[in-house]
């Protein structure tokens, strides 16, 4: 039996040939490198966005409206988007929940950011970034979304900026007609992100809003939850907030045998607390070693038999650079710390970097 490969339409092959010719004309650059100068948001470019507006929400939170590039595929409320922002000249990637209602592929979307203490990116986005700035984007992703059909009884448990993915769902209108309860915890009423809008929606009967203010009521516990929402275990529940809260909720739902009804969203599954030395994993080589805080990763890898790229071994030639997928390393020359969370792939010089905690090297 023979199969015929469908011939690409003549225009597609013509276009490809034209692009090849254009690349031969612009070598060693690509035509894209020139087009990026004038049309960074065009179709075919790396996905980027332009910040249209920054609106303060509370004293330490702001909503950032982004016009995505032409290849944006839209989002489902509850999903997050990874954003690459240049802060002090260094590209930093972070994930933020989309807080705008379901929008088309050409429409701007919004994220809402809470400035955390010492947060490099969050403080930059809340306090310093200006409209017009170009940011790097990934497509929206995440499975913290409402199913279809939407359940008739829904509970949201959120704390702090954990309200953000839920806000997208509330605004989408998908929950119209459902019995919705939102238990939200924040330090004070003024700290409730979207406080006014939530109270308006509650007043209009769209949901039952239970605000808990930790300055007055203390930290939300599962016992509190049982009092506040007696039928909580009967509801499909979506929870987003600090790790401690989510751990407690998961334990509670699991202990009562309803784990499948709880959906949680964790932005930082790994908390990186830099120390001295740690286990170093060379993922593709399949090797894990323990290295102290004074041994260059290059030496640690070579000692363990990993074929490592290397050069001058003194930090000047950049021949040994490898991506740090996750973890923390310390520059042996000046003690400067570099951390990476999954997706970052920060390139580090292995000959002058030592483990400062568990490290996952993409090699």
Partner 1 sequence: MTVIQRKPVNPIAHLTAEDIEVIGKELDAIRDRVLADRGERDARYIRRVIKTQRSLELSSRAVLLFSLFPPAWVVGTVGLSIAKILENMEIGHNVLHGQWDWMRDPKIHSTTWEWDHVSPADQWKHSHNELHHRYTNVIGKDNDLGYGIMRVDEDQPWRPAHLGQPLWNLINACFFEYGIAAYDLELRGNLKNGRHKSPEFRARARAVGRKIRRQVLKDYVLHPLLSGPSFLTTLAATFTANLIRNLWSHSVIMCGHFPEGVETFEKTSIEGETRGEWYLRQMLGSANISGSRLMHIMTGNLSHQIEHHLFPDLPSNRYGEIAPEVRALFDRYGLKYTTGSLPKQVASAWWKVIRLSLPNRKPRGRADDRPTPALAATGA
Measured from the CB atom, the residue of 242 and 315 that comes closer to partner 1 is 315
Interatomic CA distance for residues 331 and 348, integer angstroms? 9
160/180 Cα distance (integer angstroms): 19
Give CA torsion, residues 295, 299, 300, 306, to 10 deg: 170
**Count helices and strands in the chain by DSSP H and E runs:** 9, 17
Q: How far is the CB of 32 from partner 1 (least distance, A)?
A: 9
First and final CA of the chain: distance in angstroms? 43
Interface residues toward partner 1, by CB under 8 A: 21, 24-29, 33-34, 36-37, 86, 88-92, 311-312, 314-319, 321, 333-334, 336, 346-347, 349
For Cα atoms 249, 255, 261, give the angle at the middle one, nearest 5 degrees: 60
**Radius of gyration (Cα) for the chain, nearest Å?**
24
Please report how close the Cβ of residue 341 comes to partner 1 at its closest, in angstroms. Answer: 13
Residue number with CB closer to partner 1 (157 or 346):
346
Residue closer to partner 1 (CB basis): 32 or 197: 32
Q: Please, what is the minimum distance in Å from the beta carbon of residue 127 to partner 1?
A: 15
Least spacing, CB of residue 312 vs partner 1, in Å? 4
Helix or strand run (H / E) with residue 123: helix 120-123
Question: What's the Cα-to-Cα distance from 356 to each of 32, 127, 149, 336, rounded to whole Å?
Answer: 38, 30, 47, 10
Dist. CA 98–CA 12, nearest whole Å = 35
Please identify, using beta-carbon distances, which residue of 31 and 151 lies nearer to partner 1.
Answer: 31
Q: Which is nearer to partner 1, 85 or 186 (CB)?
A: 85
Residue 42 CB neighbour total at 10 angstroms: 14
Residue nearer to partner 1 on the CB measure, 255 or 307: 307
- Cβ proximity to partner 1: between 88 and 260 the closer is 88
Nearer to partner 1, 90 or 196 (CB): 90
Structure token pair of residue 7: 């011939």
* Burial class of residue 213, CB neighbours in 10 A (0-12, 13-18, 19+): middle
Residue 125 to residues 100, 175, 196, 217, 358, Cα–Cα distance (Å) = 17, 30, 22, 30, 29
Q: Between 118 and 227, name the residue whose CB sits nearer to partner 1.
A: 118
Quote the least distance from Cβ 30 to partner 1, whole Å: 10
Cβ at position 345, least distance to partner 1 in Å: 9
Tell the smallest beta-carbon distance from residue 130 to partner 1 (Å).
Answer: 12
Nearest partner of 335 among 354, 360, 314, 357, judged by Cα: 354
Query: What is the closest distance, in whole angstroms, from the C-beta atom of residue 44 to partner 1 in the complex?
Result: 15
| DSSP letter, residue 3 | -
Shortest distance in whole angstroms from residue 274 CB to partner 1: 18
């Amino acid at each position: 039996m023979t199969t015929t490969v469908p011939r690409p339409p003549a225009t597609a092959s013509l276009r490809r040939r034209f692009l090849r010719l254009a690349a031969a004309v612009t070598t060693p650059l690509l035509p894209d490198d020139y087009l990026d100068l004038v049309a960074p948001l065009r179709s075919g470019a790396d996905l980027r966005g332009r910040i249209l507006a920054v609106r303060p929400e509370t004293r330490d939170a702001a909503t950032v409206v982004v016009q995505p590039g032409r290849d944006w595929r839209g989002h489902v409320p509850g999903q997050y988007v990874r954003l690459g922002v240049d802060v002090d000249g260094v590209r930093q990637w972070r994930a933020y929940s989309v807080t705008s209602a379901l929008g088309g592929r050409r429409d701007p979307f919004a994220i809402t950011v809470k400035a955390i203490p010492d947060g490099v990116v969050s403080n930059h986005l809340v306090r310093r970034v200006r409209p017009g700035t170009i940011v790097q984007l990934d497509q929206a992703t995440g499975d913290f979304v409402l199913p279809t059909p939407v359940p008739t009884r829904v509970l949201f448990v959120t704390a702090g900026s954990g309200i953000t993915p839920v806000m997208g769902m509330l605004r989408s209108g998908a929950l119209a007609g459902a019995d919705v309860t939102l238990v939200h915890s924040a330090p004070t009423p003024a700290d409730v992100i979207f406080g006014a809008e939530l109270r308006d929606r509650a007043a209009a009967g769209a949901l039952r809003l239970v605000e808990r203010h930790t300055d007055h009521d203390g930290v939300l516990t599962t016992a509190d939850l049982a009092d506040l929402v007696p039928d909580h275990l009967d509801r499909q529940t979506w929870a987003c907030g600090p790790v401690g809260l989510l751990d407690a909720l998961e334990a509670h739902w699991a202990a009562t045998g309803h784990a499948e009804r709880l959906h949680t969203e964790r932005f930082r599954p790994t908390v990186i607390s830099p120390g001295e030395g740690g286990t170093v994993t060379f993922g593709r080589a399949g090797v894990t070693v323990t290295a102290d805080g004074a041994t260059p990763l290059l030496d640690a890898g070579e000692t363990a038999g990993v074929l490592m790229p290397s050069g001058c071994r003194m930090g000047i030639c950049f021949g040994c650079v490898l991506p740090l997928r996750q973890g923390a390393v310390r520059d042996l020359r000046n003690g400067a710390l570099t951390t990476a969370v999954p997706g970052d792939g920060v390139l580090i010089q292995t000959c002058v970097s030592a483990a400062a905690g568990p490290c996952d090297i993409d090699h």
